[in-house]
A and B are shown apart, each in its own frame.
Chain A
Amino acid sequence: MTVELDALAAGRRAGFARPIARRLGELARQPILVASWLVVLVVIGWAVVPGLFTSYGPYTGDASASFLPPSAEHWFGTDRLGRDLFARSVYGAQTTLTATLLAVLIAFGVGTLVGLIAGFAGGIVDTAVMRVIDVFLAIPSLLLAMVVVSVLGYSTQNIALAVGISSIASFARVMRAQVLSVVTQDYVKAAYGLGVGRLGVMLRHVVPNSLSSVIALAALEIGTAVLAVASLGFLGYGAPPPQPEWGLLVAEGRDYVAVHPWASILPGAALAVVVIATHRISTSYRKDHRR
């Protein structure tokens, strides 16, 4: 027991000091979680070095080879212009994932800050800020995102911004709730008693102890954001047509779905698998965190 404690104490933070071998061992017992990680890693690979995963280019088409069904040569089949759909999905990962990441970062950054200020300041500041947040929450997020894109102009960056803005509210809510509960803890009161100033208490005690569940939310939010970005792309708010983008891919195949279903279904399935995988990972993180 004491030996174990000493081993833990050797690392400064116990959470990171857990032996890697044991963590891997735990992971091996959850095949679905392992599969989820694999999916996410592969998709990140698609986004970073798409050339490694496919020999076709996203724009090069062969008009004689339009609407080929899935085969060993064209895994996802080809589209109307004979472009390889798998290659387009691979290259599309970059657009979609960058927008997703940006969206979550915006929502996380702004939302956390707003929640922190509201929860820590309290009183009239809290009331004012949270009423605004309530208004945001009252508007369906996709609708809000569409309005934002309409105002800013159609582009992938603006989609990211729009999706980010539309999920600021949930981050702010969670952060504020956490801050409110941390602020009442004895160790916060103790810090004041020791002569630590308000800013010091906020940065040293309140923020670190409030962040963990917001981070869990961020992980969860990635899946939702992928879906939101793709939805906006599908509706034509995002990248203009020749560009490969997951939502757009599904939209392009839509007109032929009765005759050539794979053109929509396979890119859509890829999207679904990614969303489910990120969701599975974020739940495992939350469980981990609770322990």
Chain B
Amino acid sequence: MTDPHADRQDPLLRIAGLAIDYRTGRRRWTPAVRGATLHVGPGEFVSLVGESGSGKTTLVQGALGLLPESARIRAGSIAYSGVDVTGWNDRRMALVRGNYVGFIPQDPNTSLNPVKKIGRQVIEAVRFNEPEARDAAQHRQAALDSLRTAGLKDAERVFHQYPHELSGGMKQRALIAIALAGKPKIIVADEPTSALDVTVQKVILDHLVRLREELGIGILLVTHDLGVALDRSDRILVMRDGEIVEEGPVRRVLENAADDYTRRLLDAAPARHAGRLEPASGPRPLPGREVLRARGLTKTYRLRGRGPRRELRALDGVDLVVREGTTHAIVGESGAGKSTLASILAGFASPDSGTVHLGARELTGLSRRRLREIRRDLQFVFQNPFTSLDPRFTVSEIVAEPLRAFGLARGRRERTDRVTELLKAVALDERHLHRLPGQLSGGQRQRVAIARALALNPGILVLDEAVSALDVSVQAQILRLLVDLQAEYGLSYVFVTHDLGVVRLIADDVSVMKDGVVVETGPVEQVFRSPRHDYTRQLLEAIPGAGLAVAGAR
């Protein structure tokens, strides 16, 4: 590699008119990136924002020379500090990666080698990126320095640990240490915090900002979360369908977005709305009597492993009340026990002790058959619409399944009518009747799942992270739909989520969970305005997109 500092005026990374195609047939190519242009200067924090399928990851892979076999660069150029690396083979690119550009991958849980100690993995990166040979002790020292720079205070201990012994946040720091090992000038991070909890996300992102200030490196952050991008970047780029549709300083984009799509993205961000979403049809129904009450729920899982029997207390004396026609949100980070709670409420699991009452009926300890009867009144919507629909069933078969199971709407005509009616309720129509889930988008699939849950006219829906797998703009539509359905059918929701931003939009009451215990519960307004528990305060502070809320309130 020629001296990258030859020309100080050149930005660290300059991509010009880059176009990348994927092979989709023998002689067919589908463009993923169409003429993208961007640059990152020294000490600059640039965010690349886009929804799934926008081509942002492909763009980054192209810049790093990590494109899969099936992709090709059709046009454009990539230059690091003025050195054009377009078309370099993998061996030459390997010298650029690590030494010049550090890469932080998306999922810390799968990106580290599980059978090697952290220390060895960092040393590997150190050694590989150093032309002159040094002895093992120096390598070790460099690796420890790198771990410390990545914000791991107890670097000596982490050095001797395996990935599974670390938390998600610590693993991500270890990956940052590996990225920093070659003393790069620029760091490219592809969704570095998407797999992490909000409080951890905040710490990691803050650390990236500090690294930029201390080391003067440039950072290119790829994210789907506009809030994350706006909070910390100098400039943001918005990508859609392989094109960069918006580019500019954060303040400018926030106040005066040039592109229509950017404005829509901004509006879809939960932080934009100050209060709860109101149904389109009119005022919300007044909260009624209690429809669901859980008392003293406890659930313990036995962990398999050596030594004395270890136990994990997933729920520890949890109480919950849902009033008719309202939404009760359950918030917490991973491992807080909220999914366990949801599956107990829905009757998928049984608690060790405690009771769940649905109206006057007790749900806990029922036989399979009795439980099935209760299912008519309580339905469940899963997190991931890509796995909760049988891929071999058409939409009409999926929605009709509960009708079949309970012998309702027996005639063919009658059943089709009911299915169509349900699809209309979730803003789909007859054209979707005979499609397979694979032919629907994520948002459409979640609509189908909701239509299916409504088929039996239940009073209560348990929604387990029902919007978490969706892009923000789709998420906003589904939330609006849920609010409208609630007003129309007088539904009560139990809304499980990790995203506090969403809670404000849809919930009346909220319970904050941590380590199997409800630490705070109450009306949303009150909990958000004056949180009593420290943990709630931490969670609230970690919500990305504080800047958005300010701009949205104008």
Contact = CB atoms under 8 A, between A and B. Distances in A.
A279 B521 CA distance: 63
A186 B382 contact: yes
B390 A9 contact: no
Contacts, number: 76
A209 B452 contact: no
B405 interface: yes
Interface string A107-142: 000000000000000000000000000000000000
Nearest to B343: A189
Contact of A9 (B346, B372, B401, B435): B435
Given A14-B438, A29-B26, A187-B389, A195 B376 contact: yes
Given A187-B387, A205-B390, A195 B439 contact: no
B380 A190 contact: yes
A40 B60 CA distance: 48
B379 interface: yes
A195 B391 contact: no
Contact of A195 (B431, B434, B438, B456): B456
A261 interface: no
Contacts of B435: 5, 9
B388 A190 contact: yes
B439 A194 contact: no
Contacts of B405: 194-197, 200
A191 interface: yes
B440 to A, nearest CB: 9
B71 to A, nearest CB: 18
B434 A193 contact: no
A208 interface: yes
Interface string A1-42: 000011011101110000000000000010000000000000
Contacts of A190: 380, 382, 388-389, 449, 452
A6 B449 CA distance: 21
A114 to B, nearest CB: 23
Contacts of A189: 348, 382, 388
A71 interface: no
A1 B379 CA distance: 34
B497 to A, nearest CB: 17
B384 interface: yes
B392 A191 contact: no
Interface in A196-224: 196-197, 200, 204-205, 208-209
B388 A194 contact: no
Nearest to A10: B434
Contacts of A187: 387-391
Contacts of B376: 195
B452 to A, nearest CB: 7
Nearest to A194: B402
Contact of B434 (A9, A191, A204): A9
A191 B452 CA distance: 10
Nearest to B369: A197
A53 to B, nearest CB: 36
Contact of B380 (A6, A29, A193): A193
B406 interface: yes
A209 B391 contact: yes
A192 B438 CA distance: 22
A190 B384 CA distance: 11
Contacts of B321: none
Contacts of B390: 187, 191, 204-205, 209
Contacts of A200: 405
A12 B395 CA distance: 11
A185 interface: yes
Contacts of A6: 431
A193 B387 contact: no
Given A187-B387, A189-B348, A190-B380, A196 B401 contact: yes
A195 B346 CA distance: 12
B375 interface: yes
Nearest to A190: B388
A197 B438 CA distance: 26
B436 interface: yes
B352 to A, nearest CB: 21
A194 B375 contact: yes
A194 B452 CA distance: 8
B394 interface: yes
Contacts of B439: 5, 8-9, 14
Nearest to A208: B392
A211 to B, nearest CB: 10
Contact of B388 (A10, A186, A195, A196): A186
Query: Which of B390, B402, B435 is the most central at the interface, judged by chain A CB atoms within 10 Å of its CB?
Result: B390
A194 B372 CA distance: 8
B372 A195 contact: yes
A180 to B, nearest CB: 16
Contacts of B455: 194
Contacts of B402: 194-196
A134 B164 CA distance: 33
Contacts of A186: 382, 384, 387-388
Contacts of B384: 186
A111 B434 CA distance: 33
Contacts of B380: 190, 193
A194 B401 contact: yes
B387 A185 contact: yes
Interface string B332-360: 00000000000000111000000000000
B397 to A, nearest CB: 9
18 contacts: A9-B434, A9-B436, A14-B439, A29-B26, A187-B387, A187-B388, A191-B390, A193-B348, A194-B375, A194-B401, A194-B452, A194-B453, A195-B375, A195-B405, A196-B404, A196-B405, A197-B372, A205-B390
Interface of B: 26, 346-348, 372, 375-376, 379-380, 382, 384, 387-392, 394, 401-402, 404-406, 431, 434-436, 438-439, 449, 452-453, 455-456
Interface of A: 5-6, 8-10, 12-14, 29, 185-187, 189-197, 200, 204-205, 208-209
Given A14-B439, A187-B391, A204-B390, 10 more contacts: A8-B439, A9-B434, A9-B436, A186-B384, A190-B389, A193-B346, A194-B401, A194-B456, A195-B375, A209-B392
Nearest first, the 10 closest Cβ-Cβ pairs linking A and B are A186-B388, A194-B402, A186-B387, A195-B405, A187-B390, A196-B405, A195-B375, A193-B380, A9-B435, A186-B382
